[in-house]
Structure 1
Amino acid sequence: MTEKVWLQHYPDYIPGTLNYEEMPLQHFLTDAAKLTPNKTAIHFMGKDISYTEVYSDALKFANYLQKLGVQKGDRVAIMLPNSPQAVIGYFGVLYAGGVVVMTNPLYTEREIEYQINDSGAKIILTLDLLYPRIMKVFKQTTLENVIVTSVKDFLPFPKNILYPFVQKRENGFKVEVSHSGVNHLFVEILKTSPTKPIELDFNCEEDVALLQYTGGTTGFPKGVMLTHKNLVANVRMCEVWLTDSRGDDESILGVLPFFHVYGMTTVLLLSILKNAKMILLPKFDSETVLKTIEKQKPTLFPGAPTIYIGLINNPNITKYDLSSIKACISGSASLPAEVQEKFEELTGGKLVEGYGLTESSPVTHANLVYEDIRRKNSIGIPWPDTDSRIFADGTTEQVPNGEIGEIAVKGPQVMKGYWNRPEDTEMTLKDGWLLTGDLGYMDDEGFFYVVDRKKDVIIAGGFNIYPREVEEVLYEHTDIVECVVVGVPDPYRGETVKAFIVLKEGSTITEGELNTFSRKSLASYKVPRIYEFRNELPKTAVGKILRRTLIDEEKEKQQQV
């Protein structure tokens, strides 16, 4: 059981072990700017920005950060949508020796205050539209300076002239910030700051490059310490896994937000490593994505299931040429087999499911992209240099193949630990193994399957029910666009199964019909007893359905009753 039996499935172009450069993460950009100085690094809403420009702007930003007092190891927050400023800011912080703290632009004032204080960030780079929100909590945080940018700063003419008027019309207000005091304008920094290279010594195995906060679904968000080596290793693994997609015209569609670790690794870092063009979209809109694919012709398209679901349910999808897409790895949630098949049929590209978590930079498993080796509902096999086992609950004892236990992983991409939380680190890292909190099993051929989060298992009448299994069956119904299954309190069974459903427009399907459909594939105790139809489901910024939010809503209803 301890053998890496999955290696038998590796094609010749994927080695079982890799060599990783002992270099800080930002050297990827340095090397790319030297190798392909004039190549487009970023395409953003009609504007192309070369690798030389990104590199020089990142150095300008780094020098300004040092002028503001940033020293090696200091935390700098970045609170931006996908944009050139997010890329420049990210590498600028690293060049200055700082630690990047990616912050969700959708955060409330309370969430901003918590994350800034927990990380101890001194400086934040943010959008003008978000500036008022930050200033409301500025004095209650560790912040000393705020660097402000606007979407228009990197728009081509005449969009940059028209943007302020559009902004005021859509948001009802326009933010004006002056370059003085604790406020600093990004455009002024790039005009006046030098492009002097900064020489610093790094211990890549120990020095933290990124403080990435977990979603906080099990309590307060925790800062995950990802070192330079963690991130270099994971993006190298990613490059090798997608080897067959190499080419001079490589381009990656960046819809996944960079403030989510999955988007940061598979779009931001992979693009720079591969000297590819990243095509950035600040938010997901299915029509905009389809138009962008047809016009810009990206070859790689990392995403989340809700993104692909949104596209295949767009009534205009067949009007667009999507044939440029060669490979997509789906992460952040389980990928329904029907979604995978439909998307591949529409694009001609490959869509496979992967698996990972913030604590592993994030990817640990994925299905092979270009090989016709498929296992339905599997998250695939471990990546190079990654070991994975199934442990008995609460132990590090391996269970037999096919038996359900906790998925554990080990590899160079596994975090250093949680920021200022030694007890949590000790509970999660055991003898070098990262305990994921996910339940699953491995088959005899080395393919892994996620059954569910340990905390999401529904126990009804003494039976363990795994929501993902029920969701997979529901997704097979052609009228269902999205669904999520949760356990709700039941006086007789302890818990019972409730399904939240989003139907296709115009569907008239009833609870009774869904019940009959589900019973064809599920044991009676697994079939949902309650259905709730909604227009949409609550999601994270990366498109992951917030099961915990729905559970909390149900608890609140029970308390009111």
Structure 2
Amino acid sequence: MSETVARPWLTHYPEEVPEQIDYDRRPLQDYLRDGAMEEPDKVLLHFMGKEMTFKEVYHEALSFANGLKGLGIQKGDRVAIMLANTPQSVVSYYGALLAGAVVVQTNPLYVERELEHQMVDSGAKIMICLDLLYSRVMNVIDKTSLEHVIVTGIKDYLPFPKNLIYPFIQKKQYGFIPKVDFGDSVHAFKKVVKENPSKEIPLELDPENDLALLQYTGGTTGVAKGVKLTHMNLVSNTTQCIRWMYKIDHGNEVLLCALPFFHVYGMTVGMNFSVMDRNKMVILPKFDTKQTLDAIQKQKASIFPGAPTMYIGLINDPDVEKYDLSSIEICISGSAPLPLEVQQRFEKLTGGKLSEGFGLTESSPVTHFNLMWGKRPTGSIGLPWPDTDVAILSAETGEPAEPGEVGELIIRGPQVMKGYWNRPEETNATFHDGWLLTGDMGYMDEEGFFYIVDRKKDMIIAGGFNIYPREIEEVLFEHSAVQEAVAVGVPDPYRGETVKAFIVKREGHEVSEKDLDAFCRERLSSYKVPKLYEFREELPKTMVGKVLRRALLEEEKEKARKSG
């Protein structure tokens, strides 16, 4: 494939958006330091009534970094963070970077099997987790390289009197108050911050080659892979985001951060964007429609990155009309296709702009975005960001496809990963002449707007989560009554897609939907558990015995068409 590609999308760039950006060659954590030095008293985050300034967050991150050093962390060591959106998640993330460590973001929904795999694969030495998750971590620690666990609770950063009331709320919500056995290898987060000095740790970092993050993503094999993202990958993508939002009041916006920071989308477009552009972030530990509407109204949130399911939930809340949402200026939708009706209804409710973008973990994650203040073709994922080359690779010629011709979306840019952690063969298979092969099928129109039409891989996106059928199928195959199983994504008006499993039972065995549901819930995160089951005598297959997943999907589409 030739080095030069046509870039028809550049003709749509507003004059305020550069075609190329001169990026800072600096570590990501420098931006928190800059904010603390230049605007120390500026509020960086708001969490359920508690506010912290740039200086306060930076000093706590430094203390935490020194605590990590005291526990043996050296440059390049991996530190896992398994937290909901809290001040602790910001402090520990930047604290790990200030110590020279590589952050391993860990989904709090992981069950023990998934957690063990990620810890073993990454070689993480320290885990920071919520007290609610402590027992889960301790159940796998002996099978991993984890040497220390640092435990915190939601109440640790709540203002008085919420910090006193929260344990009772927690017991009512979860049925128990977590008990943590602190000792030589189990440490209290607040104690680590309090007992260590907030002094700089000398570091020699190469931003273009040293890793900042191992972000795990699934694969067609069902095994989660660590995506290697450097400091420059993350700095570049956050900078691109800032420059794309050229009309915002830089430094004075209020970001509503309901997207989890453990997801690369929420991390880049929420947390890192706020720090680098010096905006205030209003942090929600989980998405709840009432809490979100309340936060928009009370905190005057102006920018809200989210997933379609969030916007669907908000516009369908029975009390939505009672809230003042007029502060909303920009909403960024990603993780799944955005229905046009949802976009239009949300924009009418708020008076702000809701536009769709596109990205993947391997690109930090954003590669495309629609214009906020310009042409937005229906169904398009938008235009490539500055310095981002995108082409549609023709399956027939291996060269860029003609406009309108469907092929595989391939990407090249400063935000694209270094590769997969400890997986050189998969890394090589994912790149073609320096281009990232996304596995997504789409096309570019004559004007340079891009559209996704299908997935080359069989990934299911439900409620913004990436779900890989093979992993679900492998769990189903473990059941003694299951002979064959295939999982597919079927249309769902709320989650975008939902998981449906087709089952062929073993002869002489019986199993019910309820049985399989309980079986899967013990072995999979809740969002991966099939919501629908269908038992069949046989599954459609090719001549060589491969299940025709596409045939099942077409059947489901036809059912949906007839019922709709």
Native 8 Å contact 2:250 2:277 kept in 1? no
Q: CA deviation at 1:287?
A: 1.1
Q: CA deviation at 1:121?
A: 0.1
- Residue identity in the other structure for 2:388: T
Native 8 Å contact 1:178 1:185 kept in 2? no
Q: CA deviation at 1:187?
A: 0.8
Q: Secondary structure at the match of 2:303?
A: coil
Q: CA deviation at 1:279?
A: 0.3
Q: Secondary structure at the match of 2:46?
A: strand
Give the alignment partner of residue 18 of structure 1, picking from 13, 21, 39.
21
Q: Can you give the 5+ residue segments of structure 1 that lack an aligned partner in the other structure? A: 458-466, 472-483, 487-494, 505-544
Q: Secondary structure at the match of 1:175?
A: coil
Q: CA deviation at 1:36?
A: 1.3
Distance 1:7 1:113, change over 3 A: same
1:348 match = 351
Give the alignment partner of residue 188 of structure 1, picking from 167, 187, 191.
191
1:58 match = 61
1:320 match = 323
The 5 Å alignment of 1:25-104 reads 25-104=28-107
1:147 match = 150
1:510 match = none
Q: CA deviation at 1:113?
A: 0.4
Q: CA deviation at 1:500?
A: 4.4
Deviations 1:403-433 (A, max 9, x none): 0000001000000000000011001111110
Native 8 Å contact 2:334 2:357 kept in 1? yes
- Residue identity in the other structure for 1:170: Q
Q: Secondary structure at the match of 1:89?
A: helix
Q: How many residues align?
A: 486
Q: TM-score, normalised by structure 2?
A: 0.82
Deviations 1:501-523 (A, max 9, x none): 4589xxxxxxxxxxxxxxxxxxx
Q: CA deviation at 1:306?
A: 0.6
Structure 1 residue 259 and structure 2 residue 281: aligned? no
2:390 match = 388
Q: CA deviation at 1:177?
A: 2.5
Q: Can you give the 5+ residue segments of structure 2 that lack an aligned partner in the other structure? A: 470-485, 496-525, 541-564
- Residue identity in the other structure for 2:139: K
Q: Secondary structure at the match of 1:450?
A: strand
1:124 match = 127
Structure 1 residue 231 and structure 2 residue 234: aligned? yes
Native 8 Å contact 2:389 2:411 kept in 1? yes
- Residue identity in the other structure for 1:273: M
Calculate percent identity across the aligned residue pairs. 55
Structure 1 residue 437 and structure 2 residue 439: aligned? yes
Q: In 1, Cα distance between the equivalents of 2:140 and 2:533? A: 32
Q: CA deviation at 1:34?
A: 1.2
Q: In 2, Cα distance between the equivalents of 1:256 and 1:428? A: 27
2:179 match = 176
Native 8 Å contact 2:216 2:227 kept in 1? yes
- Residue identity in the other structure for 1:11: P
Q: In 1, Cα distance between the equivalents of 2:42 and 2:449? A: 39
Q: Secondary structure at the match of 1:210?
A: strand
Q: CA deviation at 1:154?
A: 0.3
Q: In 1, Cα distance between the equivalents of 2:323 and 2:402? A: 48
Structure 1 window deviating more from structure 2 (174-183 vs 340-349): it is 174-183
Distance 1:498 1:196, change over 3 A: closer
Q: Secondary structure at the match of 2:293?
A: helix
Q: In 2, Cα distance between the equivalents of 1:117 and 1:237? A: 34
Q: In 1, Cα distance between the equivalents of 2:453 and 2:250? A: 37
Give the alignment partner of residue 415 of structure 2, picking from 413, 420, 432.
413
Q: CA deviation at 1:554?
A: 5.2
2:288 match = 285
Q: Secondary structure at the match of 1:436?
A: strand
Native 8 Å contact 1:405 1:441 kept in 2? yes
Deviations 1:485-544 (A, max 9, x none): x9xxxxxxxx9x99544589xxxxxxxxxxxxxxxxxxxxxxxxxxxxxxxxxxxxxxxx
Q: In 1, Cα distance between the equivalents of 2:392 and 2:494? A: 36
Q: In 1, Cα distance between the equivalents of 2:433 and 2:61? A: 39
Native 8 Å contact 2:312 2:494 kept in 1? no
Structure 1 residue 110 and structure 2 residue 113: aligned? yes
Native 8 Å contact 1:154 1:160 kept in 2? yes
Q: In 2, Cα distance between the equivalents of 1:558 and 1:281? A: 47
Q: TM-score, normalised by structure 1?
A: 0.83
- Residue identity in the other structure for 1:422: P
1:452 match = 454
Structure 1 residue 404 and structure 2 residue 406: aligned? yes
1:331 match = 334
Q: CA deviation at 1:249?
A: 2.9
Structure 1 residue 426 and structure 2 residue 437: aligned? no
Distance 1:503 1:163, change over 3 A: closer
1:463 match = none
Q: In 2, Cα distance between the equivalents of 1:389 and 1:558? A: 43
The 5 Å alignment of 1:478-517 reads 499-502=490-493
Q: CA deviation at 1:171?
A: 1.5
Distance 1:65 1:2, change over 3 A: same
Native 8 Å contact 1:24 1:229 kept in 2? yes
- Residue identity in the other structure for 2:449: F
Structure 1 residue 304 and structure 2 residue 288: aligned? no
- Residue identity in the other structure for 1:6: W
Q: CA deviation at 1:176?
A: 2.9
Q: In 2, Cα distance between the equivalents of 1:124 and 1:97? A: 16
